[in-house]
Structure 1
Amino acid sequence: MPRHARGFDTVAAYDWLSRRDRKLGTWMRRLGPIEPDPRWRRAFDPVDALARAILFQQLSGKAAATIVGRVEAAIGSTRLHAGTLGTIDDVALRACGVSGNKTLALRDLAAREAAGDIPGLRRMATMDNEAIIAALVPIRGIGRWTVEMMLMFRLGRADLLPVDDLGVRKGAQIVDRLDAMPTPRELALRGERWAPYRTYAAFYLWRIADAAQAAKTPTPRSQ
């Protein structure tokens, strides 16, 4: 059974994409190489990562971090999983600032972990992207985008393009000088030329979208 490495050669990806796509390549040279994500080499608990993803949904980073800190204090652990979440009841979770829907999602996550339905890192290494997505999206509160972010930023899968992500779509619009953002289907077709490094292309599309947004922000001037 083939194993999927965590991370990929970003030098090879840069060389491939900059030669493969002239328009994207122009932006890549302007922005410079993107270094490998250090998280690709770090061990992590997928259940803990998913629990944190649930808690961070629809909140600012600061507010979510405060709630996560309260939950960690309440369970006496920095790891969120079936064992530690089982030590706190729903009332205590709500007191930490966790919404009712997120409480239900955490309970579903813990139940599925206890049932052995959530693959660990060793098993994920033998699964392709779509198999991992199919295994995790049945969890309440976990959608395809959340799993794609884990695949890209934690597992370092090289060839994944999150076509529903607004930042990626906006970056593609800027690269191709389109009047409107491409639809997910149009972006998927456009991205076929970026294989097998679609993840690295997405990293640049995010940066391109961020650069365009920053350029629109007025520069403070002294009076």
Structure 2
Amino acid sequence: MPSTDREARLRKAVLWLKKKDPTTKKIIQTIGPCTHKMMGKPYYVLIRSVISQQLSVKAARTMEDRVKEYYGNGKQFPKPEVFLKLSKAQLRKAGLSFAKIQTVKLISKAYLDGTISDRKLSKLDDIQVLELLCSIKGVGPWTAEMVLMSSLDRWDHFSYNDLILRKSIQNNYGISMNSKKEILEFTSGFSPYRTIFSWYLWRAWEGIQNL
């Protein structure tokens, strides 16, 4: 969609969220306009998310940069056919665990045999995307949700599997970060803009860390 149309939709979503409750309004007023942007194509975000699993932002970025530098062109991840040819030792050199190496190779194989393609993912509905991606060993709900939220531009997702989101919920709304039922019930009230709400939760937590 044209950027101007998307920007107008974003403004509409933010206005809607502002009316939810005083806490959400305060968060939005503190952070300002939503600048939620896509990180890249599904393949890129999928590989990036696998690398980031259970790592700090800094550690994930270091590993991501190594993979790009060693085996990509310095700016992009290797293509699926390149990943498949790389040995475990080569990928271990970049810092990937054996489990992540297996997952990256399975993703690459799925892209090469046509099980997955960026175009196919863009045409599936949200549930179908989650089911297809999670059918690959090593790709869990969080990884699949990051593809939806950060590549396919789907606006109605909250990832309970994202630790930062849960911490931000606890800090801002007083709901225990370990209370899955309560968090999911609470965030369901932010549909159809749970992704945009999540963007503000991420920014709010970053703000706390930078104080």
Does TM, normalized by the shorter one, top 0.5? Answer: yes
Q: Secondary structure at the match of 1:33?
A: coil
Give 1:123 shift.
2.3
What is residue 36 of structure 1 aligned with on the other side?
Answer: 36
Q: Does 1:167 align with 2:164?
A: yes
Go from structure 1 to structure 2 and tell me whether the alpha carbon gap of 1:155 and 1:92 turns closer, same or farther (over 3 Å shift). same
1:53·1:146 contact (CA, 8 Å) conserved in 2? yes
Q: Distance in 2 between matches of 1:214 and 1:174?
A: 15
Whether 2:102 is the aligned partner of 1:104: answer yes
* Alignment match, 2:124: 127
Residue 210, structure 1, aligned to residue 197, structure 2:
no
Task: Decide whether the 8 Å contact of 1:145 with 1:162 is kept in 2.
Answer: yes
Q: Are 2:147 and 1:150 aligned? A: yes
With 66-75 and 99-108 compared, the bigger mean Cα shift is at 66-75
- In the TM superposition, residue 81 of structure 1 has moved relative to its aligned partner by 3.3
State the partner residue of 2:49.
53
Give, as a single letter, the amino acid of the residue that structure 2 aligns with 1:35.
T
| TM-score relative to the length of structure 1 | 0.76
Cα distance in 1, alignment partners of residues 153 and 141 from structure 2: 16
- Say whether 1:195 aligns with 2:198: no
- Distance change >3 Å, CA 191–CA 117, structure 1 → 2: same
Per mean C-alpha deviation after superposition, the further-off stretch among 163-172 and 187-196 is: 163-172
Per-residue deviation, 1:176? 2.6
- Go from structure 1 to structure 2 and tell me whether the alpha carbon gap of 1:118 and 1:29 turns closer, same or farther (over 3 Å shift): same
Return 5+ residue gaps in structure 2 as ranges: none
> SS at the partner of 2:189?
helix
The answer to whether the Cα contact below 8 Å between 1:164 and 1:184 also exists between their aligned partners in 2 is no
If the length of structure 2 is used for normalisation, what is the TM-score? 0.80
How far off is 1:163 after superposition? 2.2
Q: 1:194 is matched by which residue type in structure 2? A: F
- Give per-residue Cα distances to partners, 1:134-185, cap 9 Å, x unaligned: 110122322111121221122221111112322222222233334x336222
Is this contact kept in 2: 1:7–1:157, CA < 8 A?
A: no
- Residue in structure 2 matched with residue 139 of structure 1 by the alignment: 136
Instruction: Quote how far apart the aligned CAs of 1:75 are.
Output: 4.1
Post-superposition offset of 1:62: 5.2
* Superimposed CA distance per residue, residues 165-223 of structure 1 (whole angstroms, 9 cap, x where no aligned partner): 22222222233334x336222122112221111111111222233334444xxxxxxxx
Shift of 1:59: 4.2
Deviations 1:41-61 (A, max 9, x none): x5x2x3343223323334455
Larger radius of gyration: 1
More helix by share: 2
Which moves more between the two structures, 60-69 or 202-211?
60-69
Identity fraction in percent? 28
Work out whether residues 72 and 78 of structure 2, in 8 Å CA contact, stay in contact via their aligned partners in 1. no
> Paired residue for 1:218?
none
RMSD: 3.0
| Cα shift at 1:97 | 3.5
Work out whether 1:87 is the aligned partner of 2:85: yes
